[in-house]
Structure 1
Amino acid sequence: MALAIAQDELKNRQISYDIIRSKVEGGLSAREELFQAELNLATSESNVQNKQVDLDNAKDDFRQYIGIPLSEEFDIITDIGFNKVAVDLGKAIQNGLETRMELKQREIDIRNSQNDLTIAKATNEFDGSIDLSVGLFGEDTRLPDIYDRPTRSPQVQVTFNIPIYDWGERRSRIKAAEASIKIQEINLDNERTNVEIGIRQTYRNLLNLDKQIETGKAKRKERRAYLRNQPRTLQKRRPYQHGP
């Protein structure tokens, strides 16, 4: 692609050089313009050679990558056509807000903070436990007869945890967890705003690029028409030139 663009530029430079040379020979332009045209033409020729070298090097790298002989030739065909695609800004924003992974991660952070709040509220609260043990033991030299004469020692254990004074630990943890939830909610709102701004900016850039492409096509058409008409204009002017 880069080589093709450089070749097209060289063709345009060659046409421009021929036109300027004809004008200089006909006395319509200063010779300095011809010198500048020669420099531009030489620069374009050098650019084409550089792009050709880059292409040949890239081909060798590609041959090595896919495992074919370096002497084997191949062609790469690309489609550089421009097809317009209609974009609904409202739908694009809606889809972005529903599917972007950044937003899902922010929602997960909020749920984790809510879990931390639940744990903080359970700090130093009243709780109790009951342990019940049957206490059935047996001994025998033979495994099948181990419970023929068992020893019974049942046991019941009740434990209560009654906080007497909090010292502010539970309250501090709850406040910290609530603050974390608010921060995560703010982060989620900011992330949603960033996603929407990014989509809106991309949409505007697409509209701008569409206009630039249309403008480029018009300029190319105008330039080609100008280059085609230059030789005719020069031929019409030459009969009116008077030599010494």
Structure 2
Amino acid sequence: MKFCFLLMTWVPLASFAAAPAAADSVHHRPITLDEAILLARVQSVDAAVALNELKTAYWEYRTFRADLLPEVNLTATLPSYNKSYNSYQQDDGSYTFVRNNYMQMSGQLSIDQNIWLTGGTLSLNTSLDFLRQMDGTVGNRFMSVPLALTLNQPIFGVNTIKWDRRIEPVRYAEAKAAFLSATEEVTMTTINHFFNLLLARENVNIARQNLANAEKLHEVAKAKRRMGQISENDLLQLELNVLDARSTLTSNESSLKSNMFALRSFLALGEDEELEPVVPDSVPDVLLNYDEVLDKALKNNSFAHNIRRRQLEADYEVAKAKGNMREITLFAQVGFTGTDNRFDSAYRRLKDNQVVEVGFKIPILDWGKRRGQVKVAQSNREVTESKLRQESMNFNQNIFILVEQFNNQQAQLHLADEADRIARKRYHTNVETFLIGKISTLDLNDSQTQKDEARRKHITELFYYWYYYYQLRSLTLWDFVAGTGIDADFDKIVRR
């Protein structure tokens, strides 16, 4: 008779615990981890920031490339009118003021080309100047330069163009790799939000199930107390369990709403959707080798390009400081010029126009200022090299630790899955045992706590597995499942 009574009370208990929560009127949207990642890469603010940083780097690189190509410039003054007094020294040495009243127009077309090898500038120019005197003998005057070739060349100074050709491609390669890494970091942030919501929802489900079980067990305990089968202390303990379960449920529901808002906001989704994260049903079976992972990271990660760029920039600063110790500049121009009162004659009566200048500035006594600047640049380079060595060691160490953590995580995930299964089975067995009076409420509470912790640990270990995996993808820019590199059509991306 007692067994029938206990069976009748436990059957609705088990049914209630297994039943899902009643659906509310809110539109529910199941979302997998892959769907969340795809949405984040397209819609999230972090993805937009990474894209804009790539665009900035792209146009900076385009600007550098344009500096290597010929540049066509038109310079014109249309017109310049001057009506003023200027001082004038007469033959006897005295000064007087003379009146100027003229209009002038000028135009020059030039093709300028930076010389990559020497760092100078070569220009091909043609120009025309027009002058009209408004007072006195009124008349027009033309001066033409049909063709002139001009060279401006630093002799010992640093060749900025040569250094830019070495540094800027590395800087752009660094920016492209940083964009791909940032995309993977968006994925890591998505994983964090996704599993926070998944764990919060799991906590709510656990709390609802525990509350339902606590209420049913309390009802069973009241009946058993009336029959004298349990003590008053056990009955009060079960009543406290009901109150604790209600408090835990309220707290977990609040946490669920907070994590729901965080994921919706990150994915730029509307507040009318209630996301239901789906637990990933499988994980890739991948075992990584440290040497292979490190090799891919050093080839693909923006860190490798960053190291190379900073080393080049430090070398450039030393070269620039050495070049500044003496300044010698060559200016040379060869061509023709003509002048006349008529436009056509200004182009017929041409004369040679040749200018050669060599200017220099060499310090005789600067109290070691320029030499000190060289020493400072060299010291800064040594500091940079020391930092780069330390950063490289830290980078390699972080890769090693991360590979070990990832390889270990598969075993941890398997153990957590097995512990979750065993803990749930043990809890249900203890509930049945408690109903027939074989164990105390303390033992029942302990099994419930272990069941809940095992379920949470399973979700947490699943999170770490995916987080480590995408962290390694971010560092290596390599898809370990497909066995291919992570790349993108950057020209297409920056024009979106």
SS in 2 for 1:138: strand
Greater mean alpha carbon deviation, residues 46-55 or residues 33-42? 46-55
Query: Counterparts of 2:286 and 2:235 in 1: how far apart (Å)?
Result: 45
Matches within 5 A, 1:185-224: 185-207=385-407, 209-224=409-424
Structure 2 CA distance for partners of 1:226 and 1:51, relative to 1, 3 Å = closer
Task: Provide structure 2 residue ranges, at least 5 long, that are not aligned to the other structure.
Answer: 1-197, 440-496
Equivalent residue, structure 2, for 1:5 = 203
Whether the aligned pair in 2 keeps the contact of 1:96 and 1:196 (CA below 8 Å) is no
- Aligned in 2, Cα 1:4/1:122: closer, same or farther, shift over 3 Å? closer
Which among 280, 284, 293 is matched to residue 80 of structure 1? 280
User: C-alpha separation between the residues in 1 aligned to 2:386 and 2:413?
Assistant: 40
Residue identity matched to 1:195: F
* Bigger helix share: 1
Q: What do the CA deviations read for 1:51-105 (whole angstroms, capped 9, x no partner)?
A: 456667858x96xx6569x5xx877452333525323222222222333323422
Give the aligned residue type for 1:45: R
What are the superposed Cα offsets for residues 211-244 of structure 1, whole Å, 9 maximum, x if unpaired?
A: 5434433333333333343325764869xxxxxx
SS of residue paired to 2:324: coil
Secondary structure (helix, strand or coil) at the match of 2:332 reads: strand
Q: What is the number of equivalent residue pairs in this alignment? A: 231
TM-fit CA distance, 1:144: 1.5
Output the CA distance in 2 between the equivalents of 1:217 and 1:66: 32
Question: Partner residue of 1:242?
Answer: none
- 2:8 corresponds in structure 1 to none
Q: Is the 8 A contact 1:106 1:187 kept in 2?
A: no
Q: Does 1:41 align with 2:242?
A: yes
Cα distance, 1:134 vs. partner?
A: 5.1
Which consecutive residues of structure 1, in runs of 5 or more, have no partner in the other structure? 239-244
Tell me how far apart the structure 2 counterparts of residues 207 and 149 of structure 1 sit (CA, whole Å).
85
Structure holding more strand per residue: 2
Per-residue deviation, residues 138-186 of structure 1 (Å, max 9, x unmatched): 2123x12224445x47555453537363542342222222222222212
Q: Aligned match of 1:181 in 381, 385, 400?
A: 381
Q: Show the 5 A alignment for 1:1-244.
A: 1=198, 2-12=200-210, 14-15=212-213, 18=217, 21=221, 25=225, 30-52=231-253, 58=260, 76=276, 78-83=278-283, 84-125=285-326, 127=328, 129=330, 131-132=332-333, 136-141=337-342, 143-150=343-350, 152=351, 156-159=355-358, 161=360, 163=362, 165=364, 167=366, 168-207=368-407, 209-230=409-430, 231-232=432-433, 235=436
Matched residue, 1:241? none
Cα distance in 2, alignment partners of residues 237 and 118 from structure 1: 86
* Distance verdict in 2 for CA 1:6–1:40, change over 3 Å: farther
> Using the alignment, how far apart are the partners of 2:242 and 2:408 within structure 1?
32
Asked if structure 2 preserves the Cα contact closer than 8 Å seen for 1:97 and 1:196, the reply is no
Distance 2:239 2:299 in 1: 58
* Aligned counterparts of 1:148 and 1:186: Cα–Cα separation in 2: 66
Counterpart residue type for residue 85 of structure 1: V
Within 1, Cα distance between the matches of 2:294 and 2:376?
34
What is the Cα-based RMSD across aligned positions, in Å?
Answer: 4.2
Q: Secondary structure at the match of 1:146?
A: helix
